[in-house]
Chain A
Amino acid sequence: MITIQNLHKAFGKNEVLKGIDLNFDKPGITAVLGPNGSGKTTLIKCVLGMVIPNKGCICMEGENIAGKWAYREHLSYLPQIARFPENLTGRELLSMVKDMRNGKASDQGLIKIFDLEPHLDKRLGNLSGGTRQKINLILTFMYDNPVIILDEPTAGLDPVALIHLKDLIEQEKQRGKTILITTHIMSFVEQIADEIVFLLEGKIHFKGSLRALKERFNEVSVEKAIANMMLQQNGKAFAVKDMEPSSAPATEFLESEN
């Protein structure tokens, strides 16, 4: 479905991606993890064509996406921070996106699920962060596309909305979609992810199933396995299991990226 080969990207002198090779060909949920600045968002933006790679190629359905735009018709994307044109209302935003995409949109069910009806006629600038994130989710899920990319989907959501989100992702998985998620909430990863890609300093440090990750680091939770992986990389071989999960430095990268 999506093939990434030898992907390099540098912003000025700062090399963010140093040769990424990835292949998403099976339906299922892949969580892209990594500390701040490891290149997760850059990778996703490369797939979306928002960042133009220096080297390497990305193919979707066997076709190189460089300079193309029509392939995004088959791709749903949830951006990291939900900020919209402030003067539009939610309803106008929805109809605008529908106006720009060709596929058939099914947003009514989603509006009901997230209980957004009362907010749709307010200016987006006046809505709370969580409500905007819900609108963001509707924009993403209202199309029936084979590839879904979610960048920090849980940001700002209340517990009820979070449950609905998990249900939605599960549903889409059942329908055979390829789903990419970046997140810092490890429990979320543990609940939904099939595959994990761990990026560190622009390279793939680990790629495999959830179970493979836990086995490799001999941990029961993903959180600790990841933390261990990071510490090893830093050359500090002390046992994380003795520490509280909330304490630094293991949880440092769990804070949300800007």
Chain B
Amino acid sequence: MKYLQNFSNLAYPLVRNNPLRSWPKTKNISSRNFFIVLIISFLGCSVFADTLEVCSSCEYTSVSEAIAKAKDGDEVLVKGGVYSEGNILVDKSILLKGIDDPILDGKDQSGLLTITANGVTIEGFVIQNVGTSYLKDRAGIKVDKAKNFIIRNNRLLNTFFGIYLANSSDGLVANNKLVGQAVEEMSSANAIHIWYCKRITVEDNLVRQHRDGIYLEFVDNSLIRRNTSEDNLRYGLHFMFSNNDNYFHNVFRRNGAGVAVMFSKKINMWNNVFEYNWGKASYGLLLKEIYDADIKNNAFRENTIGILVEGSTRINYLQNDFISNGWAIKISGGCLDNVISENNFLSNTFELSLKASVNNNTFDGNFWSDYNGYDLDRDGIGDVPYRPVKLFNYIVNQTPEAMVLLRSLFVDIINFSEKVSPVFTPENVIDNQPAMKQIDNTSESLSLKTH
């Protein structure tokens, strides 16, 4: 596979308009495509490609010099050493490859790589010290109006923006490690920032200590998977005005808040872990004004709020695990046609909280660890419906100060009496088919993945 990729990279200039190729399918190329790509690559390679080496004793001693001399399809190999050349413009379709971890150092004065050509691959660099700028969007690697790029196996340390993609499409950002030093939101920026892009794949990256881990604004048809985003000041992952995107198998941990999905449509969120997002305004996942999303097989563990929902419609919450959160799901604002089903609610302080009246939502078929009904016909479904909204929950919504009575004997007593004869808790928030046993949401729900 690696062999194949190396060759196919070189082929970009030739294949970029080839309808057979389309990101992010690189890794799933069928055998027929494989041969076509191989043949084209081989041709491209033998006819055009030169290799330009950069090191202190090589023909080229500076990266920008080598790029200036290179032509489309060439390889520029940068060997170990520190290169402080300010911002390097990559305006040709080349492979820019670091060997033995060459360091590009901005000395806190500038961004480092700016890609403006199509079909560029950047790999194997250590990119560091971009420096905060309030005027310019300085970035470790910036891609502007380019297609078919690959950015992989780099380490970006103390960059302001890490990887900044704008007006681009069909790109891959993989296997990078981005570690920032963000202390406050105002003077920090996002690790991977994507703006007005289409068909981008972001996978297997580790992003840490930035403002947002991964930020998408006006980004469509993209895939975010297998990333770990942790210790970021604001969000682990942030969608704004983005549609038809997927994020699978990511871990969001100890961020100001895990993931925010805002003003977006048709987002699939599967098999992610949201954990330890704990703080006064923290939550695992925020949904704000979104439509037609699918939230499946995720694990929400020890978040102040597992999912905070503000006005969302046609959302399916299926087979998720909510473990030890303050609130498992907190819904404020009108929510229509949501399905909350087959989830496990385990030891949450509050399971469900509803601030607004909601209509046409389903809460059936979940497992609630607080449920203590019985199952006489032994079909695995409790014979007594379960009301996930407790009286205290209701009171706290009316009077937030009442939270000081949390875990007092009095609250236990009123919750119990309300359970026996419901008066205040909403009629339509009820699980008519509560599961007797914990539901096995095993399909890679990552719920056992350690931190």
User: Is there any pair of Cβ atoms, one from A and one from B, under 8 angstroms apart in the complex?
Assistant: no
A residues at B contact (CB < 8 Å): none
B residues at A contact (CB < 8 Å): none
